[in-house]
Amino acid sequence: MLQIANAPKTPAARLSGSLKINQQENSSVQPGQPAQLSFSFSDESGQPVSEFEPDHGKFMHSIIVSKDLSRFAHLHPTLGQDGTFRLNINAPTQDPDNQDAPRAVQQGGPHLVFSEVHPKGGATQRVSFPLPSDGTPPQQSLNPDLIGSGQVQRYFIGDGTTATEGAPYRVTLDLDDMRSMSKMSMVSFNFHLEAKDHNNEYQPVTDATDWLGMKGHAVVIGAAGEEPQDRFFNHLHMDHHGHGPAKEGDGDHSQGAGPDFPFMLHGQMPTDGQYKIWGQFKRGEQVLTFPFAFELTPESGRS
Ligand SMILES: [Cu+2]
């Protein structure tokens, strides 16, 4: 089974976007206070672009992170008849695909929005936006869970925060830095998921269900860069149909329900520096988010 990042395609026209907060340009969000985000797009000649095609079941995928990468939300704004995408954040929602919306912007300071849209007749494009939040950001530095290739185990509740031993989930991340491989440079990740059973023992997760047509999603964002467009960003998808050769006796395991969820980062390689990866999986009705910070160093690569 092989998971490949969306290959970059040549866009028919480069979109530019505008993000309004409560219908206002150049506005800001109050941390934890309900706000409506609205996104609209135009082409290079300034003409509004209002027709889009869905990718993975959604017309728009948006990732909101705080600049320090401590906060993460994966959201799906709704496309209106007028071609504007709208999303209510910091407010309760019944939408199973917007479970991060109630906690989207919970702290002050700059946030970054990475939106992926697919204009009709064109190719999927990423448009990024700064999203200011009132107040002072907490002074947090990114502490890498892993430096270079290796393995690390962490505990999680599943809501995107890190927890301690005894939490409902134990996740082991394997990272293999193969950026210097001459034939096919890549960085590979494997999320191994375990959940606590009724005896309080961790058991492998084998019942992950599809979310947006896939058993697993992962987003990698770099810590370096002032503006969102300067950040390294890659949205990795697990393809449960699998592009690789089928393994004999794989059975249900090949369907990707767990406990191992591999992702490969191809194409534009990340440079040395600090990054965060969020693995997202669905069990029952809950979307689970497991973040890890990592650092790539000149020594961490293998050839
Ligand atoms: Cu999405």
pLDDT of 87 higher than 70? yes
Same structural domain, 22 and 122: yes
Same structural domain, 284 and 151: yes
- CATH number of the domain that 118 lies in? 2.60.40.1930
- Determine the distance separating the centroid of ligand 1 and the alpha carbon of 246, expressed in angstroms: 27
Same structural domain, 150 and 292: yes
Same structural domain, 172 and 280: yes
Same structural domain, 156 and 215: yes
Same structural domain, 178 and 107: no
Same structural domain, 38 and 173: no
Same structural domain, 170 and 102: no
- Determine the distance separating the centroid of ligand 1 and the alpha carbon of 147, expressed in angstroms: 28
Compare 59 and 210 and report the one with higher pLDDT. Answer: 59
Same structural domain, 180 and 292: yes
**pLDDT-based confidence at 215, cuts 50/70/90?**
confident
* Residue 32 forms part of a structural domain: yes
- Determine the distance separating the centroid of ligand 1 and the alpha carbon of 182, expressed in angstroms: 32
- Determine the distance separating the centroid of ligand 1 and the alpha carbon of 58, expressed in angstroms: 7
Same structural domain, 118 and 214: no
pLDDT in the model for residue 161: 86
Mean pLDDT computed over 185-213: 93
Provide the residue range defining the domain that includes 97. Answer: 16-133
3-class SS at 23? coil
pLDDT of 64 higher than 70? yes
Same structural domain, 285 and 207: yes
Same structural domain, 108 and 179: no
* Residue 170 forms part of a structural domain: yes
Instruction: For residues 290 and 277, give the distance between their C-alpha atoms in angstroms, rounded to a whole number.
Output: 8
pLDDT in the model for residue 213: 82
* Residue 139 forms part of a structural domain: no
Task: Tell me which residue of 75, 79, 80, 78 sits closest to 62, measured CA to CA.
Answer: 75
* Residue 302 forms part of a structural domain: no
ω into 259 cis (within 30 of 0):
yes
**pLDDT-based confidence at 117, cuts 50/70/90?**
very high
User: Where does a domain end: 103, 133, 163?
Assistant: 133
- Determine the distance separating the centroid of ligand 1 and the alpha carbon of 180, expressed in angstroms: 30
- Determine the distance separating the centroid of ligand 1 and the alpha carbon of 271, expressed in angstroms: 25
Mean of all residue pLDDT scores within the chain = 88
Q: Could you give the maximum distance between any two Cα atoms of the chain, in Å?
A: 62
Lowest mean pLDDT among 118-127, 163-172, 200-209, 240-249: 240-249
- Determine the distance separating the centroid of ligand 1 and the alpha carbon of 237, expressed in angstroms: 10
3-class SS at 93? coil
pLDDT of 236 higher than 90? no
- Determine the distance separating the centroid of ligand 1 and the alpha carbon of 75, expressed in angstroms: 6
- Determine the distance separating the centroid of ligand 1 and the alpha carbon of 62, expressed in angstroms: 6
Instruction: For residues 136 and 67, give the distance between their C-alpha atoms in angstroms, rounded to a whole number.
Output: 12
* Residue 233 forms part of a structural domain: yes
- Determine the distance separating the centroid of ligand 1 and the alpha carbon of 235, expressed in angstroms: 9
The pLDDT tens digits for 120-164 are: 989 999 999 999 999 998 877 899 999 999 999 999 999 888 899
The pLDDT tens digits for 249-274 are: 444 444 688 899 999 998 889 999 99
Residues in the chain, total: 303
pLDDT of 6 higher than 60? no
User: Where does a domain end: 79, 106, 133?
Assistant: 133
- β pairing state of 260-265 and 150-156: unpaired
Q: Number of structural domains, the chain?
A: 2
- Tokens for 240? 């449960």
User: Where does a domain end: 133, 160, 181?
Assistant: 133
- Determine the distance separating the centroid of ligand 1 and the alpha carbon of 76, expressed in angstroms: 6
pLDDT in the model for residue 241: 41
Beta bridge partners of 188: 176, 264
- CATH number of the domain that 213 lies in? 2.60.40
- Tokens for 227? 């503006």
* Residue 140 forms part of a structural domain: no
- Determine the distance separating the centroid of ligand 1 and the alpha carbon of 198, expressed in angstroms: 32
* Residue 7 forms part of a structural domain: no
* Residue 301 forms part of a structural domain: no
